[in-house]
């Protein structure tokens, strides 16, 4: 309701001369414990425009809420997830937040502290003290509504809130990229790859694999095969690829086996990747391969 930012001062922070971001905190959060805290808990709450707490179990009061109830956003995204699961039960909606939680929260090494700010101007502006502070004095506000939204789509026991006050966001982005990769599943080459050496029992493809970085295409080197440890990075490389092309157990190692998904769909080549620690999986990878001149022979299950 826009009136709470204009004429209705119910949720304005004491001492303020106008509406600030604190309106959103005061109209959407209820904390347990005495001010100035630390509060034992801060949770999502819906109030009407007069400041009356609404019954969370009564959906008929949703239209009376001063702010759009968080549950409405959760239900919308849950509907999208339900549609995805009707196609593939393993598919999920992925939500990850970089917000005002302390560094270490995602790993369970730190918890959110809800406490009023000792800085009056900051308290008037936000309605709560910072959840974390950066090295240069910047602050991140402790999430409540956003936390409930994100936690509704957490995968397993993993926390999906990461600190905006961290020195970098590699861990957060890597975690999300890994989940996206898992959702996408096997990296099948969606064409029939050619065999550069028909004399060997398995497919010997020739491909150029590239990642897009800042609008440029950068070649990804092929991994080094090791009969004892699978595949490893070439010298100075942070990312490499390897071929998965054995669908009939023609080699003694399972490290080059084609996944059941790619094999069942009739493709004859798939890609795997090895990354150095902390190196995220690129969001866009392209592969250009020599194509089979006899796809009915090299990929018979496609025909």
pLDDT digits (tens, 9 = 90+) for 23-82: 999 999 999 999 998 999 999 999 999 999 999 888 888 999 999 999 999 999 999 999
Using a 10 angstrom Cβ sphere, with 0-12 exposed, 13-18 middle and 19 or more buried, the burial of residue 151 is middle
The predicted model gives 104-133 an average pLDDT of: 95
User: Are the CB atoms for 62 and 72 separated by under 8 Å?
Assistant: yes
Element (H, E) at 173: helix 170-184
The more confident residue out of 16 and 177 is: 16
The pTM of the full predicted model, rounded to 2 decimals, is 0.64
Q: What is the pLDDT of residue 185?
A: 63
What's the chain's average pLDDT? 90
Give SS3 for 144: coil
Q: What percent of the chain shows pLDDT beyond 90? A: 63
Closest residue by Cα to residue 271 from 158, 185, 198 = 185
pLDDT band at 186 (very low <50, low <70, confident <90, very high): low
Candidate from 85-89, 97-101, 102-106, 247-251 with smallest mean pLDDT: 85-89
């Amino acid at each position: 309701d826009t009136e709470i930012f204009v004429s209705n001062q119910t949720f304005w922070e004491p001492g303020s001369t106008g509406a600030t971001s604190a309106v959103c905190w005061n109209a959407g959060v209820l904390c347990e414990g005495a001010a100035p805290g630390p509060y034992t808990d801060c949770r999502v709450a819906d109030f009407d425009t007069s400041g009356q707490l609404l019954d969370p179990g009564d959906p008929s009061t949703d239209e009376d809420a001063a702010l759009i109830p968080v549950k409405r956003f959760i239900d919308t995204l849950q509907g999208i997830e339900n549609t995805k699961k009707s196609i593939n039960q393993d598919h999920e909606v992925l939500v990850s937040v970089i917000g005002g939680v302390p560094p270490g929260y995602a790993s369970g090494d730190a918890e959110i502290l809800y406490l009023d700010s000792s800085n009056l101007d900051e308290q008037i502006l936000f309605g709560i003290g910072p959840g974390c502070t950066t090295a240069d004095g910047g602050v991140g506000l402790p999430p409540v509504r956003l936390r409930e939204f994100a936690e509704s789509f957490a995968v397993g026991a993993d926390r999906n809130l990461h600190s905006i006050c961290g020195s970098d966001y590699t861990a957060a982005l890597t975690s999300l990229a890994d989940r996206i990769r898992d959702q996408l599943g096997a990296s099948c080459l969606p064409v029939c790859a050619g065999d550069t050496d028909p004399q060997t029992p398995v497919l010997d493809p020739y491909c150029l694999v590239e990642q897009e970085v800042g609008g440029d295409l950068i070649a990804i080197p092929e991994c080094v095969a090791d009969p004892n440890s699978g595949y490893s990075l070439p010298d100075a490389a942070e990312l490499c690829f390897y071929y998965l092309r054995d669908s009939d157990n023609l080699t003694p190692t399972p490290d080059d086996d084609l996944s059941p998904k790619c094999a069942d769909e009739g493709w004859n080549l798939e890609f795997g990747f090895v990354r150095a620690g902390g190196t995220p999986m690129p969001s866009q990878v392209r592969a250009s391969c020599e194509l089979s001149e006899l796809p009915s022979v090299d990929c018979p299950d496609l025909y």
